Structure formats: C-alpha cells, structure tokens
Chains A and B, each alone.
Chain A
Amino acid sequence: MYIGIDAGASATKAVIVNEKGEIASFAMVPSGIDFKVSSETALRKSLRMCNLDLKDMTYTVSTGYGRELVNAKSTSSEIVCISRGVFRLFPSVRTIVDVGGQDSKAIRIAENGRVSDFVMNDKCAAGTGRFLEAMSRILGKPIDELGKLHFKSSTPVKISSTCTVFAESEVISQISQGARIEDVIAGLHEAIAERICSMSSRIGLEKDVAFTGGVAKNKGFVDSLSKKIKVTPILPEEPQMICAYGAALAAIKRHQESIDHSSL
C-alpha cells in the first residue's frame, strides 16, 4: 500500500491507495503549528479506517507547505500532485483551479497528464482560504456555512478591497451600514472569484476545468467562480483530498522506479 500526505497550510491530509491507485482510506486533520504531529495523526487515522498497519505501507510521498517535516521517503510539489490526482480521476481536464489555505493556483495539463504551465497567487493571501477564514470569523459564521448562506443573497455587496486586512474593515462597515450578511458573503465570494479568474486567465482556461482545494467545498464560491469564468467545472467529490491522492499516486510511481533502478 502507498501513502500520500499533503501537509497544507490549513489542513493535513493523508490518502492510502493500493498498487492500482485505488483509494483504501483517507483522513484529514487541522495542521495546527506542528506538521510532524498533524501528519502522524492524519496517517494514523487513515490507517485505522482501512484496518492496516504502518508496516503494510511500501512508500510515502509528502507534499504541501510542511512537506519537508513529514516522515516520508520523498517529496513532491503540490502542483504536480494535484495534476496527477485530477488526471487520474478526470483525464479530460486541461485546466485545474486550486484554492487552498494559503495559495491559489491555476494549472494547465497536457493530454498526457503532464503539467505544461502553472501560475500561483502573488505574496498576498487574498483569494485564498485564509481570506475566507478571516471573514467567517468576523461575520461569526462557521466556514462551512458560507456556501449555504451565499445562495440566500439577493444583491451581493461589492467588496472592493483585495487585501485581507482592509476587507475586514470593509465588511465591518458594510454590516454596520445595514448590509445583509448573506449579501456580504456572496460579495466576498465574488471578490475572490474575480481575483482567481484574472490569475487563471493568464494561462488560459482550456476545457475541461476542474476546481480543487479546500475552498472548492464552498458551493457559494464555486457558483461565483463558475459564473465568472463562464464554465461549468468538474468538481471532485473530495476536492481537498486531491493533492494527497496525487502524492499517493506519486508514491506508487517512485516505488516502481526505485525497483527498476535497483534491478539495473
């Protein structure tokens, strides 16, 4: 069996697959401040779910911000892992838009599944999960509820600031001026969607387009982004696990390569 661990800025994910790349189990825990702890917890959780033991595991690949801190045989970048994961599940996809905790990315993949180009957000965290986390805190609404509330909006409020810090005060002033929370939430989703759209347009949004990353679980954001880029996206069932899944697929490949290499 093979493991992929994605030690992301917000959450750490582990996926266990068999040698065919079929998923045996997966788990997710908050990353907190110690990637060693979070990756071990996620791993233990996923092992328990498929009733396996660490000794059954052949090869581990880690990815994400904390990749170097995870106990794994080798590391891979998120860009490559996400692409592998998506391509395995949806071979027709040519563009992936991934919005994670601290990064957003747009990736172009060629017909053979290889990455042909990618762009990532600039230094600023606006347009990432962090932005929405900060906003959900101010609005006093759990992050999971933002998507539901989005659809209750009738006239989304225009949020003009793209800076997380300034947007906070803008949201507060909107609310104090009587704006409905639902409209503010929809406005926030539109603001991020706009930012992601202009970033993604730089590499061209060739169809099919898939959305991945934790923020793709937010149906409200998905709605805003789909409208903005005028595409109906492919949405994996577990968009946040794709990167770890890709890492697990990489683990199979690397194990195979190491066998080939040693038999030379």
Chain B
Amino acid sequence: MTVQKERSRVLQTTKKINELIIEHFSKAWDVKSQGKPISWVTVFTPVELLYAMGVYPISPEHFGAMCSARGVALDYFEHAEKSGYSQSLCSYSRCCLGYVTSGMSGLMPPPDILITFRNSCDVYVKWWQSLHSHLGTQLFVGEAPYVLSEDDMDNYVLDYVVKQLEQLVKMVEQKFSLKLDMERLVEIVKLSDKASELWLEILKLRRFRPCPLGGRDSASDIFPLVVMQGTDEAVKFYEELLREVKEKVNSGQGIVENERFRLLFDGIWLWHAFDLIKYFEDKRAVFVHEPYSEAWACRLDASKPMESIARKILTMGLNVDIDLRIESFLKSISEYQIDGAVLFSNRSCKSWSAPQLVTADILREQLGIPSLLFEADMADPRQYAEAQIKSRIDAFLEVLGER
C-alpha cells in the first residue's frame, strides 16, 4: 500500500482556538487584577447573565479537558486523590479539586462566586460544595427539574428557573455592587444566539460528502460555546469557520481523502487520546456527526432573554427525556449518511453513557447500523487501554467494509 502525503486534518480556523483559549484565561487574570469578580461555573449555566453584569465566567470542566489534552491532568488527579477524592469520581471534578488543593497556581484565577445548576450532572452539586468548603467562596446552586416534554415547560418549570435566575441576579448585584443592564443583556443574548446559529449551520455542512470538518475540528471548535457565549469573539470565530467550511464544500475537499466510512461519535471526546481520531482517519473513516458537538448550540430569543436562558438551562441534552436523545440520534443517521456509530462509554460521565446500550440495539434493529462500544475515561489516561481499543476499531472498520 502506498503511503499518501498527509494533508493536515485540522482546519485553519480551528488552529486559532488555542489563541482564543489563552486570551480567555489571560483576560480572566486581567479582570481579577482589576478587582472585578470571577465566577466558576458549570456548563449550561447563565453565562450571558454574568457577562451582562460584569462577572467573568470560567469553566473548570473546560479546564479539565484542556489539562487532559495537554498531558498535565495527572498531577491534579494525584493531588485530588491524595486529599481523599476517590478515583471513581468524575475526572473533571478531580482535576479541578486537585488544582485547588495543590494551591491554584495555573490558568484559572480563584473564584469570587461559585455557580452551578442541577441540570445535567449528578456530581456538580457535591463538587461545587467541595469547592465552597475548600475556598469559602459564596455558592449558588440552582435547581432544574427534568424536562420530559414541552408541556412540563409551559406549566411551571420554566417559571421556576426564571425565578431562580432573578435570585441569582439579586445575589450578584448585592455582593459585588453591580447592576444588571437589561439592554446589554439583550445584546449579549443576541450574540450568544448568533454563535449557536452559526455553529449549527457549520455542523449541517458535514452532511456533504466528503465531510469538510472532522472530529479533531469539532472537538476543539466547541470552546467558544462553552464559556464565551455572548461575546463578539465567539461570533467572529464561527463566521470565519463557516467561511472556511463552505469553501471546503465548494471545492469538494474532505477532511480525509477518499472518504470510506462516515461515522457518528457519541460521548465526550477522549481529550488525552486525540490520536484515536487520527487512527480512524488513517483508515479513511471520518466522524461526521457527534450529538456532543451539537449539544452546545442553544438558540435564544432576545425578546425574552431571561426566559430563553432558563430554557437553555432546562433543555440541555442531559436534562431531557432519554427518548428525545435517541430520537435525534436516529434522525441524524440518515441526515448525515452515517455508516456506523462509535459509542464511548465514559467512566466519568454516566449521565451521558447511560442510554448507549439501548441506543446500539435500536440502531441495529431499526436501521441496521452497527455500533462499536468501548470504555475509557474522557480525561484520565489511566483508564485507557490503547491496544484493546485499537483492536476493536480495526475489527469494527473491517466489518463495516464487509457490508
């Protein structure tokens, strides 16, 4: 077999993500040195509201992913484990708690307020409570009931979350002598919505053959939607990305040459093992869709800012009926012309992995789509058996090739 000269499998725009991340953190330290408040938030919390009040949000989950990708998470895991946090806890939480117990000398400035919502993850509340007990920082825990259908929302749930947002605003205003500027909030909500709209448009272009944007891109490109929603920078980034992806589509350039298999990836990425994506791509198998990447896009209505932020908190992918998740999973198979699904059962995130076995059965029985399920951890490399996973990938792709 001849070895083809490798083309970079990362888009030019994606390469700018690093700069954005560095800017995000250096800005955080600037903010801190100016005496303005920093909030540590879990994802799918009201960052738009925080930006509008002048509170700067930082996502420790993103920090965990980043540390893992850069190979520096182990130190933090070990610190957390030495302090008594079990290895069976979520690796993001261990990374963050290790960062705190090891003295917080790194990228994240210490928080002035801790904000979380009970909307997607069982660990959040205990994790944020632990941070509170280590740091003594004020804590806000919001409640978000499960949303089984749109009816639940109309009745009482939405109102309940809006009221909590109002409480949060009051708390922040009093604590930091700040004032929520409604006009500014409307602008921020518009920007946040715009970024999501663009991201959805970009993802849709992956329906083209060959697929113009691969797994390595989508894994990185979600960053502006994690904690930069409502900023100009996020919108600019996605505008540029959209332009590049459109060009790729127009010129018929795919992320791999002679695309052979189009795959769905389910789960959070393995931040410490990005070479897995390359392993697939070397065999001309490209990831064309991930429910995880899509989950970051949340459309907001600027005419009802508080309500749409509440809606975003409530309808995040893990806070809705599992059937809805499976339904959209099934729909994507034909939309993206998917040949097979790769399901990553994540030791750290059981709320995400829970429906995977059922999903695999449904995919096989209803659509004849085979799945590959493997177990590892999103951020902890100690839970990763490379040879075992690669032998499963080989078998899966060979079987796909036989069909």
A and B form one complex: yes
Query: Which residues on A are within 8 Å of B, measured CB to CB?
Result: 65, 67, 75-80, 102-103, 114-115, 117-120, 122-123, 202
Given A77-B391, A103-B388: A114 and B402 interface contact (C-beta under 8 Å): yes
Contacts of B391 in A (CB 8 A): 65, 67, 77-78, 103
Contacts of B399 in A (CB 8 A): 77, 79-80, 115, 117-118
Contacts of A114 in B (CB 8 A): 402-403
Contacts of A65 in B (CB 8 A): 387, 391
Asked whether B204 is an interface residue with its Cβ less than 8 Å from the other chain, the reply is no
Q: How far is the CA of A114 from the CA of B361 in the complex (A)?
A: 20
Asked whether B345 is an interface residue with its Cβ less than 8 Å from the other chain, the reply is yes
CB-based contact A77/B388 at 8 Å: no
Given A65-B391, A117-B364: A77 and B398 interface contact (C-beta under 8 Å): yes
- B376 is contacted by which of A67, A102, A117, A123 (Cβ under 8 Å)? A123
Q: How far is the CA of A80 from the CA of B402 in the complex (A)?
A: 9
Q: What are the nearest 6 A-B pairs in CB distance?
A: A77-B395, A79-B395, A123-B375, A77-B394, A77-B398, A115-B399
**Distance between A59 CB and nearest chain B CB, rounded to angstroms:** 14
Contacts of B370 in A (CB 8 A): 117
**Distance between A33 CB and nearest chain B CB, rounded to angstroms:** 13
Asked whether B392 is an interface residue with its Cβ less than 8 Å from the other chain, the reply is yes
Q: What are 20 inter-chain pairs, A to B, with CB distance below 8 A?
A: A77-B394, A79-B395, A80-B395, A80-B402, A102-B388, A103-B391, A114-B402, A117-B364, A117-B370, A119-B373, A120-B392, A120-B395, A122-B373, A123-B374, A123-B375, A123-B383, A123-B385, A123-B388, A202-B357, A202-B361
Contacts of A78 in B (CB 8 A): 391, 395
Q: How far is the CA of A119 from the CA of B387 in the complex (A)?
A: 17
Contacts of B398 in A (CB 8 A): 76-77, 79-80
Q: How far is the CA of A65 from the CA of B390 in the complex (A)?
A: 9
Q: How far is the CA of A75 from the CA of B387 in the complex (A)?
A: 15
Please name the residue on chain A nearest to B357 by beta carbon.
A202
Query: Which residues on B are within 8 Å of A, measured CB to CB?
Result: 345, 357, 360-361, 364, 370, 373-376, 383, 385, 387-388, 391-392, 394-395, 398-399, 402-403
Contacts of A102 in B (CB 8 A): 388
Please name the residue on chain A nearest to B385 by beta carbon.
A123
Q: How far is the CA of A79 from the CA of B396 in the complex (A)?
A: 9
Contacts of B387 in A (CB 8 A): 65
CB-based contact A122/B375 at 8 Å: yes
Contacts of B375 in A (CB 8 A): 122-123
Please name the residue on chain A nearest to B1 by beta carbon.
A74
Q: How far is the CA of A76 from the CA of B391 in the complex (A)?
A: 10
Most buried by A among B360, B374, B376, B398: B398
Q: With A103-B391, A123-B374 given, name 14 new contacts (CB 8 A).
A: A76-B398, A77-B391, A77-B398, A77-B399, A78-B395, A79-B395, A80-B398, A80-B399, A114-B403, A115-B402, A120-B395, A122-B345, A122-B374, A202-B357
Most buried by B among A77, A80, A117, A118: A77
**Distance between A94 CB and nearest chain B CB, rounded to angstroms:** 15
**Distance between B98 CB and nearest chain A CB, rounded to angstroms:** 24
**Distance between A152 CB and nearest chain B CB, rounded to angstroms:** 35
**Distance between A112 CB and nearest chain B CB, rounded to angstroms:** 10
**Distance between B142 CB and nearest chain A CB, rounded to angstroms:** 35
Contacts of B374 in A (CB 8 A): 122-123
**Distance between A145 CB and nearest chain B CB, rounded to angstroms:** 29
Contacts of B376 in A (CB 8 A): 123
Contacts of A79 in B (CB 8 A): 395, 398-399
**Distance between A114 CB and nearest chain B CB, rounded to angstroms:** 5
**Distance between A12 CB and nearest chain B CB, rounded to angstroms:** 15
**Distance between B384 CB and nearest chain A CB, rounded to angstroms:** 9
Contacts of A75 in B (CB 8 A): 394
Please name the residue on chain A nearest to B399 by beta carbon.
A115
Q: How far is the CA of A220 from the CA of B376 in the complex (A)?
A: 33
Q: How far is the CA of A78 from the CA of B398 in the complex (A)?
A: 10
Please name the residue on chain B nearest to A120 by beta carbon.
B392
**Distance between B91 CB and nearest chain A CB, rounded to angstroms:** 15
Please name the residue on chain B nearest to A102 by beta carbon.
B388
Q: How far is the CA of A120 from the CA of B391 in the complex (A)?
A: 11
Q: How far is the CA of A215 from the CA of B375 in the complex (A)?
A: 24
**Distance between B353 CB and nearest chain A CB, rounded to angstroms:** 11
Contacts of B360 in A (CB 8 A): 202
Given A80-B402, A123-B376: A118 and B385 interface contact (C-beta under 8 Å): no
Contacts of B361 in A (CB 8 A): 202
**Distance between B394 CB and nearest chain A CB, rounded to angstroms:** 4
Contacts of A115 in B (CB 8 A): 399, 402
Please name the residue on chain A nearest to B364 by beta carbon.
A117
**Distance between B174 CB and nearest chain A CB, rounded to angstroms:** 49
Contacts of A80 in B (CB 8 A): 395, 398-399, 402
Q: How far is the CA of A80 from the CA of B392 in the complex (A)?
A: 11
Please name the residue on chain B nearest to A112 by beta carbon.
B402
Contacts of B394 in A (CB 8 A): 75, 77
Q: How far is the CA of A179 from the CA of B402 in the complex (A)?
A: 49
**Distance between A203 CB and nearest chain B CB, rounded to angstroms:** 8
Please name the residue on chain A nearest to B393 by beta carbon.
A77
Q: How far is the CA of A76 from the CA of B402 in the complex (A)?
A: 12
**Distance between A263 CB and nearest chain B CB, rounded to angstroms:** 18
Please name the residue on chain A nearest to B361 by beta carbon.
A202
